[in-house]
Amino acid sequence: EAQMVESGGGVVQPGASLRLSCAVSGFTVSDHWMSWVRQAPGKGLEWVASIDQDGSEKDFADSVKGRFSISRDNAKNSLYLQMNSLSAEDTAIYYCATERTIFEIWGQGTTATVSS
């Protein structure tokens, strides 16, 4: 059974950084584009970033471009999101998901809270 488990969330001050991880089991991550999608408290879903199978192609939402980076370690079957220069607007549940143009399988999410 495919499973994705996010970790790395927490409470940080504005301007700080966080690195989120997504550990995948039940399928081979190297076969798939992978993405991060977030959801601010009480709000809708927002696509954040996607990365191709070997990490050579990456897409970012305008709201995070230049501050966030996405990476993967296929040997560890894992996905990462490095978040820098965080602001209150980045407070959200962050989900990892398979694919890019469609988000087929989702993890349960990890919460990042940016607050002074």
Partner 1 sequence: SYVLTQPPSVSVAPGKTATITCGGTNFGDYSVHWYQQKPGQAPVLVIHYDIDRPSGIPDRFSGSKSGNTATLTISRVEAGDEADYYCQVWDSSSGGVFGGGTQLTVL
Burial of 36 from C-beta contacts in 10 A (0-12 / 13-18 / 19+) = buried
Q: Are 35 and 100 in contact (CB under 8 A)?
A: yes
**Size of the residue set binding partner 1 (CB under 8 A):** 22
Which of 15, 87, 104, 115 is close enough to bind partner 1 by CB under 8 A? Answer: 104
Examine residue 52 and tell whether it contacts partner 1 (CB under 8 A).
Answer: no
Binding mask 54-73 for partner 1 (x = CB under 8 A): -----xxxx-----------
CA angle 54, 60, 63 (to 5 degrees): 160
Contacts with partner 1 by CB under 8 A lie at 35, 37, 44-47, 50, 59-62, 95, 100-109
